Structures are given as structure tokens and as C-alpha cells.
Amino acid sequence: MNSPLRVVFAGTPEFAVPCLAACAQPGVEIAAVYTQPDRPAGRGRKLTPSPVKQAALERGFRVEQPENFRSAEARAALAGYAPDLLVVVAYGLILSQRVLDIPRFGCWNVHASLLPRWRGAAPIQRAVLAGDAQSGVCLMQMEKGLDTGPVIACSATPLAPDETGGSLHDRLSALGAELLGTELATLARTRLRPASEVQPADGVEYAAKLDKAEAVIRWSDPAVAIERQVRAFDPWPVAEAEIAGERLRIWAAQALPGGGAAAPGSLVAAGRDGLDVATGAGLLRITEVQRAGGRRLPVRDYLNARPELRSAPA
């Protein structure tokens, strides 16, 4: 009978927590959990542990939080756990070849896209922003390049018409954990390095890190593109725009035909169904907003505070 497969897990945000849980299965021993150092968060800027750290401590796992692996000491500490496998999920550090070579079976990465499309930091939001018909997760054998390693397995899922960055994040997090759990169980049983396929050269797209400046709506863009922007940036950084003289965060919107000769950015109609704003092509019906310092509101409640907008022509 094989001894347990020794796994070191490396991850930081909420997306990685289900994958950590998937590693806690029969035949697998989690030797340690690596995560980013505690960071200031909230209004008080209090040092806050990552979601992965919190989950690891709740399960009684040993936690390591090095700033990086540049020092020989940090690499020696990892090697000291004698890992058969390093599982990396949204860890937040680029690992050198010296780190990747430490585990017996190398390093696996759960990536939230159908590689080679959307390599990089923000694949979930980029898929929604681009209007992709599907997304998914890939389990990849890591190499030094940015998400360039051979793919062990993938699982695809269609994007819903109302898909948001948040909803896709949650579905891919669960899908990634399921895929990882299955492949990890096989490795624990067989102790054979799984087959993998080199990523094709065609179809490579890079998912750049999100920037808050991208959340500012350009009314000259088509309504369909702005709607995708609103959905992609929910829950962060949240689309925003000036409407009828007030800066608002836009949480929900729908592209509609129409607009006529109205200038982009003009408020065409306002009522219980939403705020209809002219764009470069079509109307954007905004249904949920947030004022500065306020909370998310349906437009019908927002209009109670700004009844003068109801006079906007239909």
C-alpha cells in the first residue's frame, strides 16, 4: 500500500479555498499550506490573513508565508517538507525553475480559463468582457513561462447571458476544485505522472491585471460592450459613470436597441424599469446603482432621491 502523497498547497484568495479542500482527501497528506503574508485591509488597515490561511488554520494545517522564494533558506524550507507535488492556485508569486524542480512530480496549477486563451492575472473578467461564449478551468503542469505549461485536463462551462465576474468566479472555483480532486486522486493511487498536452501556439490571449481606470464607462462605446463591462467588473472594480450630473457606480445594466439621434451619455428615459442612457450604438438600461458613500440600490429607489430625473423624455 502506498504511503500518502505528500502535497504542499500554495494559494491566497477565496478562489483557491475549494481547491485546498479538494486536496484533503484519502491518500493525500497536506504537508504545508503556503500563502501570501497578511496584508492591511478594511478602513482600519488592519493586518488580515488571506482566505486560504484562514481555511488552512481551521483545518489544522501548517501555514508558511514567505515574501518570496529568492533566498536559499526559503527554498530549503519548502524542500524540507519533501513534497511529492506542489499545487498552486492563485498564489500570487511567480515561481522560479529552482522552486518548480523541488517536488517529485513538479507543480500543478489550476487556471481559470481554457488555455491558451486568457493566460495571466484576470482570466475570469476578461472572458466576460470579451463576450466569450464559454470559459472553464485547466489543470496545468507548471513551467517557467506565464501559464505556458502543458495541460493535464480541462473542464469547460458556457457563460450565461447575465454572467458577472463574480458569478463566473464562483462557478470556476468549484469546477477547478472538482477537476483537481479527480486528478489528484488518480496520482495518489497510481504514482504516475499524468499525460499532458503542449498548449497550441494559436489562440493565445493575455488577461492583463484589472485596473480601476478600466471601470470608467465610455458612452461612445456600443451598449453591448458597456453591458459586458458592467457585468465583468462586478464585484470589482465596479463600472462607473456620470449620469445626469452625478457620478454613480453601475452594478447592473442591459443593452437595448434604440437611442436614435441622442448624444452618447444622454439620459433618454428614467422610470421604474431603469435609467436609459444613449451610447455609441443602442441604449443602456441601468437597473442598479450606487451613489458616493451609499449602498447598492435598484433604480426605482434611487429615483426617490432624484425625482426630477423622472421628467426625462421617453
According to DSSP, the β-strands at 63-64 and 28-34 are: parallel
**Tell me: the pLDDT tens digits for 80-116?**
999 999 999 999 999 999 999 999 999 999 999 999 9
**Once rounded to an integer, what is the mean pLDDT over residues 29-41?**
95
* CATH of 212-311 given 3.40.50.11390, 3.40.50.300, 3.10.25.10, 3.90.180.10: 3.10.25.10
Neighbours of 91 (CB within 10 A): 21
The one-letter code for the residue type at 297 is L
Assessment of whether the complete model's pTM goes beyond 0.85: yes
Q: How much is the pLDDT for 311?
A: 57
Q: How much is the pLDDT for 260?
A: 78
Helices (H), 29-85: 51-58, 72-80
Confirm whether residue 113 is marked as ligand binding.
yes
**Per-residue H/E/C for 249-268:** EEEEEEEECCCCCCCCCCEE
**Tell me: the pLDDT tens digits for 260-300?**
789 999 999 999 999 999 999 999 999 999 999 999 999 99
CA–CA separation, 76 and 62 (whole Å)? 16
**Once rounded to an integer, what is the mean pLDDT over residues 33-52?**
92
**Tell me: the pLDDT tens digits for 174-221?**
999 999 999 999 999 999 999 999 999 999 999 999 999 999 999 999
**Once rounded to an integer, what is the mean pLDDT over residues 228-248?**
97
Confirm whether residue 115 is marked as ligand binding.
yes
Confirm whether residue 93 is marked as ligand binding.
no
**pLDDT range class, residue 44, cuts 50, 70, 90:** confident
Q: How much is the pLDDT for 299?
A: 96
Q: What is the mean pLDDT of the chain?
A: 95
Confirm whether residue 116 is marked as ligand binding.
yes
Neighbours of 85 (CB within 10 A): 22
Residue of 297, 264, 268 lying closest to 281 (CA atoms): 264
Q: What are phi and psi of 151, to 5 degrees?
A: -95, 130
The domain ranges of the chain are: 5-207, 212-311
| pLDDT of residue 1 exceeding 70 | no
According to DSSP, the β-strands at 134-141 and 246-256 are: unpaired
Q: How much is the pLDDT for 43?
A: 78
Strand pairing partners for 107? Answer: 86
| pLDDT of residue 313 exceeding 70 | no
Residue 238 corresponds to which cell in the numbers above? 465596479
The strand ranges marked E within 12-99 are 28-34, 39-41, 46-48, 63-64, 85-89
| pLDDT of residue 314 exceeding 90 | no
**pLDDT range class, residue 258, cuts 50, 70, 90:** confident
**Tell me: the pLDDT tens digits for 143-152?**
988 999 999 9
Second-level CATH architecture of 5-207: 3-Layer(aba) Sandwich (3.40)
